[in-house]
Amino acid sequence: MKEKVILAYSGGLDTTALIPWLKENFDYEVICCCINCGQGSELDGLEERAALSGASTLNKQVGVCINTGDACFLLIRQCNQ
């Protein structure tokens, strides 16, 4: 069984390029998570972009982030469900 990694995914160049790198260098199953804090159309096509890059799933959550610690906790808790 492959180890899994949760990637806080924005859909930008850096996090999109990181998906195949994690798979090729560490043989991880990559699970992408994104918190929708009202970005609107910026999130359009996110699922397709993540899948084409090799992510196994993309989990989008709606939420308001109070601080970075809360955001990390929310991502880990929601993406592990």
- Tens of pLDDT, residue by residue over 8-53, are 888 889 999 999 999 999 999 999 988 777 677 777 888 899 999 9
Strand locations in 1-81 (E)? 4-8, 29-36, 57-62
Predicted pLDDT at 39? 72
Rounded (5°) CA angle 39-44-48: 135
Q: Contact, 32 vs 51, CB < 8 A?
A: no
Q: Could you read off the pLDDT of 27-36 as tens digits, one per residue?
A: 999 999 887 7
What does the pLDDT average to over 59-79?
60
**What is the pTM (predicted TM-score) of this model?**
0.74
DSSP, res 40:
G
Predicted pLDDT at 30? 94
